[in-house]
Amino acid sequence: MTKTELIDLDLVDKTVALIPPNAWEHARQVIVTALVDNMPGSVVERLTGSYDAFDQAEEFLFDYYQLPEKQDELIIDAFKIMGAINALELLDSAQLDQFIKDGIPSTDPTQVPAMQGGQTQDN
């Protein structure tokens, strides 16, 4: 993606819609961590006042994107900075679908069938 390329807002809307409501905190943490991990020290310095305050930059961005109104902005910024494909692959690797079981949001990944160890047998 070039700097002048526009962000596909339909793709942003679809991405936001696919993230379970109770998975946003995890999605936000994954995206913010990736953004800061790839952030030049000069940008960290502009955010925090210190060239190597990566933890502080992460906290700042995590707080900034905390409000539900910022969900679209978080995805847009991730697409701009990482590229849409990289951002989508990152979200896919975060396994956000594990936050839903039988259509009911769950914050406990052990409650998701794929994550449980035992299987039942029919006799």
Encoding tokens for residue 8?
A: 């596909």
Convert the pLDDT of each residue in 46-96 to its tens digit.
999 999 999 999 999 999 999 999 999 999 999 998 999 999 999 999 988
Distance CA 108, CA 72 (A): 25
CA 47 to centroid of chain Cα atoms: 20
pLDDT-based confidence at residue 99 (cuts at 50, 70, 90): confident
SS3 122: coil
Distance CA 4, CA 97 (A): 33
At 65, which amino acid appears? Y
Q: What pLDDT is recorded for position 5?
A: 66
Nearest to 35 by CA among 11, 59, 7: 59
Distance CA 78, CA 87 (A): 6
Question: Domain ranges in the chain?
Answer: 28-108
pTM over 0.95: no
For the stretch 49-53, contacts whose Cβ atoms lie closer than 8 Å and that sit 24 or more positions apart, written own/partner, are none
